[in-house]
Structure 1
């Protein structure tokens, strides 16, 4: 019954659904406001999480570079941090996103880059809520990246003589500043993107391991590696890639 004593034209079940929907919309609106891009980005709430996840493995006391573990460490370097993430020099990864699918991708997402940039442009504030700061990660002995001991070296275009399974790629030698798009070109016309290195430097000299190994059939040509570079296709084979090279590949031009 409404306030005039008349029956509402809406069944009560419909009213309940409308009220419930309204509650959901209010909750959704609250979440949207919590992620409002106009809201102030702070070290405590957003940026520290990005640094701890993507940067702190190198940038901690005793690490391979200066520490960024605290606000006092990061705030004086805010402008340099912004420049480094916008140019994608940091974190040092080297592979262009979307070209190949890799495990342990250390690069920042576009959302993370936008958050760091907004933080710096907003004055790099600490934030008023110390409880928003996540626990700092702990680090033991630095992990040494294993250098592949087996695989197939590629310099220039090479065609595979029999099927292989490739777990990743390792830039054994790349001239500084070089860029290359490495693909596997199937005989049936399929082209599989493997790795796009952009403006190479020595901080990118690490294995790029695929999220899933790629089965490459015989007759496939690996293209995109300059003759003055050497890229190793990492395989599960324990034999020396020097001895396998003659058996599995032939030069194509």
Structure 2
């Protein structure tokens, strides 16, 4: 399912709360909508949160301001933007996750009165940049299914290009780890508090080289498995 479709369901559960008017809150932060927060929202959120999107628009300050408290709660709980994979474990294409600094900035802005500042500083949203990249064109893609607690040992050198979780129920977690023959450990992906509506293939930003003899292990619920795509280059 595409990220924008997942957003619609997140909004029903979270940001569909009645927006809170905070017009009289004291301003206690130097972070502003026009200079900092709009840039984060435009980069991470407006693929869904715009006119014609699947959720309410957050493009303008007038549209975003009433939702400041709800936005704070969603980003703190890592429910928005929806992704599923824990940041810092694996590097993936089209990852919309907020960085820790971005979360901190949004929270401080919302708690500090959500000020606007001079509109002259407001950037123009680039809707063309929101188009998702198609899966990379890779040669000789082959797939293997790995089941929970049944390690897979590679019989030859390989490059892992993507991971797709299977049979992972709502609320479950999945940790896929590669144990290299020299003793090094490569954490491929960690899915936490998973939701089936997030179902997707996670493409690594760059294929991960795994030498012959590497053991790949899934730690998850008994029914879970995953498809790992390997490429020659």
- TM-score over 0.5 for the pair: yes
Question: 1:115 maps to what in 2?
Answer: 105
Larger radius of gyration: 1
The CA deviation at 1:159 is 2.2
- Of residues 193, 197, 206, the one that matches 2:200 is 206
Q: Which structure carries more helix by proportion?
A: 1
Give SS of 2:58's match: coil
C-alpha separation between the residues in 1 aligned to 2:200 and 2:182?
32
Structure 1 residue 191 corresponds to structure 2 residue 173: no
Determine if contact 1:178/1:198 at 8 Å carries over to the other structure: yes
Structure 1 residue 160 corresponds to structure 2 residue 149: no
C-alpha separation between the residues in 2 aligned to 1:231 and 1:145?
21
Structure 1 residue 52 corresponds to structure 2 residue 42: yes
C-alpha separation between the residues in 1 aligned to 2:46 and 2:228?
30
C-alpha separation between the residues in 2 aligned to 1:179 and 1:86?
19
Query: How big is each residue's C-alpha offset from its partner over 1:48-69, in whole Å with a ceiling of 9 and x where there is no partner?
Result: 1000001111211222322211
User: Judging changes above 3 Å, is the alpha-carbon distance between structure 1 residues 140 and 131 closer, same or farther for their aligned structure 2 residues?
Assistant: closer
Give SS of 2:178's match: strand
Question: 1:73 maps to what in 2?
Answer: 63
Normalized against structure 2, the TM-score is what? 0.75
C-alpha separation between the residues in 2 aligned to 1:202 and 1:68?
26
User: Judging changes above 3 Å, is the alpha-carbon distance between structure 1 residues 104 and 141 closer, same or farther for their aligned structure 2 residues?
Assistant: closer
Determine if contact 1:154/1:225 at 8 Å carries over to the other structure: no
Determine if contact 2:143/2:230 at 8 Å carries over to the other structure: yes
Greater shift in the superposed pair: 172-181 or 109-118: 172-181
Query: How big is each residue's C-alpha offset from its partner over 1:26-64, in whole Å with a ceiling of 9 and x where there is no partner?
Result: xxxxxxxxxxxx752211111110000011112112223
Q: What 5-or-longer segments of structure 1 have no aligned partner?
A: 1-37, 238-253
Determine if contact 1:183/1:193 at 8 Å carries over to the other structure: yes
Alignment of 1:128-147 (within 5 A): 129-139=118-128
User: Judging changes above 3 Å, is the alpha-carbon distance between structure 1 residues 210 and 105 closer, same or farther for their aligned structure 2 residues?
Assistant: same
Greater RCO structure (CA 8 Å; 6+ sep): 2
Q: What 5-or-longer segments of structure 2 have no aligned partner?
A: 1-27
C-alpha separation between the residues in 2 aligned to 1:192 and 1:220?
10
**Alignment length, in residue pairs?**
199
C-alpha separation between the residues in 2 aligned to 1:141 and 1:133?
18
User: Judging changes above 3 Å, is the alpha-carbon distance between structure 1 residues 56 and 164 closer, same or farther for their aligned structure 2 residues?
Assistant: same
CA RMSD of aligned residues (A): 2.6
